[in-house]
Structure formats: structure tokens, C-alpha cells
Amino acid sequence: MSITERVAELSAKLKQQRDSVETEEATKNALVMPFIGKVLGYDVFNPAEVVPEFTADVGTKKGEKIDYALVHEGHVQILIETKKITEPLRLEHASQLFRYFSVTNARIAVLTNGQTWEFYTDLDEPNKMDSKPFLVLDLAAIDRTLLPPLAKLTRDSFDIDSVLSTAGELKYIGTIKRILAAEFKDPSDEWVRFLAARVYDGKNITQKVREQFYPLVEKAAHQFLTEQVNDRLKTALGSDESGSSTVDTVPVTQPADQAATTTENPEQERGDRSREIITTEEELEAYRVVCAIVCSEVSADRIFGRDTKTYFGVLLDDNNRKPIARLWFNRSQRYLGVFDENKTETRLPIERAEDIYSHSDQLRKTVAGYLSRINEKG
């Protein structure tokens, strides 16, 4: 499995089990050890690779323990300190990491609660752990741009020099992205003042003006993000490279992967058909609902949409043989097409996109079935 698939698998597990993981030990067993084993590729049962309760005397501090030390080529390279998943990470949680970082060979220190993984190194001062992480991975909302550097910390692809060479860029880009995300979610006074000063015709940005602009900035930010997402979806769905027009309509009782092209020149037919396809905002909204539902089973980056003249298809891994749902919205009576284990479609009447939530169990079952068969094949 690729690093993306391994992280996605653990992300799905996190979403399923999070509410039942309450203690630090449960966090270690359910999430931290699987991350070390499945994502990073270390044998958690081999003390030559993973040392639990790692001890190194530090000055007057005797017998302090770090939860895990990861060993590569005979040297401790990564230190991991764990907190329970219900506890937000704070820098004071990393006091032992700070002390151990200076007395071991480790160049990477990790603070985690099982969901959020903060990776630290010594960019600011040699042999002294930084106060800010260079990489923050949230398993509940995976940033795929972080997976390539994460892959370089895995046992089989360990390349600490390459990671450290890009750590500074990762640190500042990551911090800026988190600041922007926070501002888009809940604009600060500084952010509101900054934007208001560029559009307000008055001379002074008074408190009254800031209060006036706060909801406007918040609304503009939400609309901007929505438009960006919709534009990307429309581009992907309308792209020749995405294959958006290659899905053929099949009878409702026919398994989805038995569709056949019926013309002597299928490429020409697909080209003609793609020019007639119009993806509506309502279809995109329903697509997002399906994504929100099945994200409990699989990473969002494995869910794809393809539009056709007659329906909008939602697929796993962009594979026409793995249909998750069909949105029959090009008619007065809308239908949601769902699939059983034989990929036979059943159309369920719905009025609006929100009605799809009533069929969440069936959609999740369909995705779980595909994942189970994939795992069985190895």
C-alpha cells in the first residue's frame, strides 16, 4: 500500500473509533501503535526498532521515560510522546521531548494525541528542539501535501537529510496555511481591518466600521472557498483527462460494471456526449453530501465524481467498476441510485440533496464492501 492509502486507512479507523478511545493507553493501542506500524512501517513488537518507555537520564532528571523511541540503523532517530485523544496538544506536553532531544541522536521529536501528529526538529538552534513543529498532520482532515515528507520518515524510505532540508519551508508554509484557515473560519480584528481598509471609502476604520465589516468578511470568505471548490470540481468533471464522459448509462437492473459501448466509434461518441453534459450546482451539492457520508470509511481523495447526460456518478478510486452512488437529477423526480454487493442498482426517490443522509448506512456499506474485497486480494 502507498503512504496515502495507509494514512487513509488509519484516518477511517480514527473516525470509527474516536468516541470509544478515552484514555492515554487506549490512544496508544488504537492509534499510535498502528501509526508507527502501518504508516511508518516499524515493527512495534521488535525492540530493536521500537523501544516503548524509552529511558535516558537527563541531568538531575533520573528515570524519565519517553513513550516510544524509533530506531533506524542502530540509532534512535525519532522520539514520540503521546497524550490521550481527548486532550488538545499543548507545548507544555513536550517537556520531556525537549530534554531528551538534546541527549540522544534523535533529530525528530513527535507529540501526538493519536489524531494530531506534530513533528519537531532543531531548525532554530542546533541540538535544541524547536518550539514550533515543522509538520502537523491531522488524521481527521488529511493535507496530502504533507504525505511525501512523511514518507521520508518511514522505515523503508528513511531520509532524514532530505526531510531536514525542506523542514524550514514546511514549517512556515504550514503555519501560514493554519493562520489562513483560522482567519477564514473566524476572522480576527486585524484581518477585518486589513481587508476593510482596502475597500472602505471612509478615512478611518473605526470600531463601528469593523463591526460592520466583520460579517461581510466572514461571508465573503465562505463564498470564496465554496466557489474555489466548485470551480475545481467543475474543471475536473469537465476535463477530458478525468474521463468524465466515459461512463455509459446501464439499465437499472444491470450490474454497473457490465456497461458496454454501443457505437463503432466510441471516442467520437464520448466527445459528442461531453459537449452536451451540464453539471448543476444541485448535483455538486449532492456529490458533496455523498462524500461527507462515506468519508467515515475512506479518504476523501479516493472519491470521484463523473457526470453523464443522464446521471452524475460517484465512484471509488475513479473506477467505473466501483460505483458508490448515482444521482439521477436530470428529471422532475430525483432519484439516488445505490448498489448492493452484486453492483445492482436500486433507485430511491428523494426530494433534495439532504435526503441522501437517510441512506447513509447503505452508502457506507457499499464502500466498506469494496475495501474488504481490496484487502482480501492483498
- Same domain flag for 299 and 229: no
Number of separate helices (H) and strands (E) present in the chain: 11, 11
Residue 35: pLDDT over 50: yes
Would you state the pLDDT for residue 230?
64
Q: Average pLDDT in the 133-142 region?
A: 90
Beta strands across the sheet bearing 345-350: 303-307, 312-316, 323-328, 334-339, 345-350
Q: What is the pLDDT of residues 271-294, one digit of tens each?
A: 444 446 778 888 998 998 899 888
Distance CA 72, CA 127 (A): 19
Confidence of residue 238 (pLDDT cuts 50, 70, 90): low
**Residue type for position 330:** N
Beta strands across the sheet bearing 135-138: 50-55, 65-72, 75-82, 108-112, 116-120, 135-138
- Same domain flag for 227 and 145: no
User: Do the domain assignments include residue 249?
Assistant: no
Residue 70: pLDDT over 60: yes
Instruction: Among 156, 182, 208, identify where a domain stops.
Output: 182
At residue 204, φ and ψ (nearest 5 deg) are: -120, 140
Residue 30: pLDDT over 50: yes
At residue 87, φ and ψ (nearest 5 deg) are: -110, 115
Find, among 41, 293, 254, the residue nearest to 150 by Cα.
41
User: Do the domain assignments include residue 97?
Assistant: yes
Lowest mean pLDDT among 17-26, 132-141, 143-152, 235-244: 235-244
User: Do the domain assignments include residue 298?
Assistant: yes
Q: Average pLDDT in the 336-346 region?
A: 91
- Same domain flag for 20 and 138: yes
From residue 204, how far is each of 151, 187, 189, 193, 200 by CA, in Å?
50, 20, 15, 10, 9
Residue 144: pLDDT over 60: yes
Which has more pLDDT, 288 or 253?
Answer: 288
User: Do the domain assignments include residue 246?
Assistant: no
- Same domain flag for 91 and 143: yes
Q: What is the pTM of this model?
A: 0.58
Would you state the pLDDT for residue 235?
58
- Same domain flag for 32 and 132: yes
Nine cell digits for residue 296: 467515515
- Same domain flag for 213 and 157: no
Cell numbers 468578511: residue: 217
Split into its structural domains, the chain has a count of: 3
- Same domain flag for 226 and 273: no
User: Do the domain assignments include residue 9?
Assistant: yes
Residue 194: pLDDT over 70: yes
- Same domain flag for 176 and 200: no
Q: What is the pLDDT of residues 165-187, one digit of tens each?
A: 888 888 888 888 888 888 888 88
Domain that holds residue 359: 256-377
Q: Average pLDDT in the 83-108 region?
A: 85
CB 123 within 8 A of CB 134: yes
